[in-house]
Amino acid sequence: MWPNGTSLGPCFRPTNITLEERRLIASPWFAASFCLVGLASNLLALSVLAGARQGSSHARSSFLTFLCGLVLTDFMGLLVTGVIVVSQHAILFDWHAVDPSCRLCQFMGVIMVFFGLCPLLLGAAMASERYLGITRPFSRPTVASQRRAWATVGLVWASALALGLLPLLGVGRYTVQYPGSWCFLTLGAQPGDVAFGLLFTLLGSFSVGLSFLLNTISVATLCHVYHGQEAAQQRPRDCEVEMMAQLMGIMVVASFCWMPLLVFIAQTVLRSPPAMSPTGQLSRATEQQLLIYLRVATWNQILDPWVYILFRRAVIRRLHPRLSARPRSLSLQPQLTQRRTVQ
């Protein structure tokens, strides 16, 4: 409980912002437009994915399952958080009066952490799947690849939800953030706040770093196979190159959108002297920085579907017609039947 002298819940920190300032910062038209563009983009990507899944190979089907999980997560994240934020911006309700017990704030904090971590964890899972598919194509059974992919997506969702529920169990706190329209983890100096902030940051950063490492190895392997001595038999198929291009795009978008926020959280909770006062106040500059970095991070949910939509073979061939003239490649896997014939 913050020392605010009232019976309000623990999610309310002292803030010095007037109603007029909130009107200037919280634009309902911008928030609504942002959410509508994001929802439409993800719906378009889901419709394209539904068509692409028909007749796809086992490896591509598994990759498309991960993509479907990612796009579905982004869509639901924009929908659930957008309803709360747009409503708050539209009527500028007083959070103290609407949610004195902090249940809505805790719910929003959980889904902010959940939908924030899921794209990063799914990106790492997709990078791992492609790494195994490219470097060890014979080590995985293909029959249950799609079921395994959905099981991995479910495990990612469960892991992110478990982390998001930690503040409800006493590790960290969710508080209303500047300008009073959203809730997120607390950038305080208490051990629980520091532990939860660092756990969120380290898990997100580890996911981005693992994606970078595995994607780099996968791309290097594709280049080696393409230019190797047995290139005529082992050139990567178009779908292999397409999947890696989409995965690299997803990784770059996640890095640019999320790393500034993750670094800022780590720097703030580890700052000495603490950035947050004992009464729960942050400087206006720190609050504004957190808001800016959070808005940059939410662009990830809009850009993810466009990475898939624009990095498809059909689109790339229209932009670069010379690529369609390249002879169709056979397979990334060695031609075992041909080798047996030679022997």
CATH architecture label of 23-319: Up-down Bundle (1.20)
- pLDDT higher at 162 or 58: 162
Per-residue model confidence as pLDDT tens digits over 262-292: 999 999 999 988 888 888 888 888 998 999 9
Dig out the tokens for 80 from the structure. Answer: 């659930």
- pLDDT higher at 200 or 60: 200
What secondary structure letter does DSSP report for 322?
G
- What are the residues whose beta carbons fall under 8 Å from the beta carbon of 105, sequence distance 6 or more? 9, 11, 95, 99, 174, 175, 176, 183
Mean pLDDT value of segment 237-252: 81
Domain parsing of the chain, residue ranges: 23-319
Q: Which of 146, 123, 72, 99 is nearest to 254 (CA)?
A: 123
Per-residue model confidence as pLDDT tens digits over 107-161: 999 999 999 999 999 999 999 988 888 877 655 555 447 788 889 999 999 999 9
